[in-house]
Amino acid sequence: MNGLIPKVLIVSFSCLSLLSKIPLQAVKPERLSIEIRKVFDQLDTPKPISLVTVPDGSGRSLLVLQGGRVLLISSEFEKGEISTFLEISSELMIDNDFEEGLLGLVFHPKYKQNGLFYLYHSLQNPKRSVLVERRVNNRTSLTVDATYSRLVLEIEQPYWNHNSGVPEFGPDGFLYLSTGDGGKANDPHDFAQNTFSLLGKVLRLDVDGREGDLAYGIPEDNPFRDKPGYRGEIWTLGMRNPWRLHWDHPSGTLYCADVGQHLSEEINLIRKGGNYGWSFREGTGAFPLKNRQPAEEIEFVDPVFEYGHTEGTSVSGGYVYRGTQIPELEGHYLFGDWGTGKCWAIKVQNEKVVGQMDLKFLISGEVINGPALFVNGKPKSPFKPVNFCPSPDGRIVILDWMGVVYLSG
């Protein structure tokens, strides 16, 4: 890490007014200040979505842009040396003001042997989201095989929003994919609770298998595999717009940040067969715009953490910090809010929040995610975190939707 040490300040913070909704287990928050710096701030195609480390030990990484480009970053991340790894912008045909686009990339667990990686992105006419398998044919230069593309999964999308989808491989070798409820306010078609629909779910697929006419297999221990009236791919249901899915392999925990509508922003721990409530409820509260009631036998899974819309309007999930640069953050899940720029870290043990930090990010001592200005009741923050990712050497990378990439240290 070139001997770089971040400037860190911890201050005891005794007031729980930080959140308009108290976490399910109230803890005494602390304040943590971290120095960061810009690595990229003039991307010709803004809206970075994800940073993925190439799993070959080279120290290289891929920066995924919503518009359809994937940039290859050299092993010396902070130098900002980039080249184009993949370009699919012409395939997407999206309006850049909407939520469609290239939304996720993940490498196969056996990438070193098979060179495979997976993209999740939008297509048009008709609107749909697809999970596509691609291949690298030269691992040294990271050249994509232009002759190989396999469609794994296709999901019809009724609207332009809530298209979110993040593919992540679990420690079991299966691919987990989060999907939004299809869009429009109030989930008008009740897709999130519809057990025949793949929308508003977390799915679990065996991309190495095949089953019937499917281009993938359905794992034998999926909770609804053999249950009448259910799609076997479903791992959990009741999601609205899950914006980032993260497997913390050391703890075996799958985190999912779910964007709310009017009431709450959620951090969820994904459980096998769990129902997270949307659109019967939002967060831990009933959703007031639905005129129907859930069946009595449904048991909803509470978010491990939630906050109300006085603190933010659109949660951006991140990851569990496992680096060595900031010992105070070890084992904490980092996340923020796209609307207000506020950022937090929570530590979870036994499915309870046992530690909480209010994160302040500074450039040359100046806080960049300070209080947001509210215009007509809506926050207007110049800092719009869309994802938090680890750099190849374990430092914190913050992706700003406006086209800026920040690095701690």
Taking residues 8-28, what's their average pLDDT? 43
Local confidence band at 359 (pLDDT 50, 70, 90 cut-offs): very high
Q: What is the per-residue pLDDT across 169-197, written as a single tens digit (0 to 9) for each?
A: 999 999 999 999 999 988 989 999 999 99
Return the pLDDT at 288: 74
Rounded distance, CA 213 to CA 164, Å?
26
**Cis-peptide, bond into residue 242, ω within 30° of zero:** no
Q: What is the per-residue pLDDT across 224-258, written as a single tens digit (0 to 9) for each?
A: 999 999 999 999 999 999 999 999 999 999 999 99
Rounded distance, CA 253 to CA 306, Å?
18
CATH of domain 8-408: 2.120.10.30
Nearest to 171 by CA among 254, 56, 275, 270: 254
Q: Are 52 and 105 in contact (CB under 8 A)?
A: yes
pLDDT higher than 80, residue 18: no
The token pair that represents 282 in the structure block = 């939002």
Return the pLDDT at 307: 95
Local confidence band at 7 (pLDDT 50, 70, 90 cut-offs): very low
Local confidence band at 41 (pLDDT 50, 70, 90 cut-offs): confident
Confidence (pTM)? 0.92
Local confidence band at 83 (pLDDT 50, 70, 90 cut-offs): very high
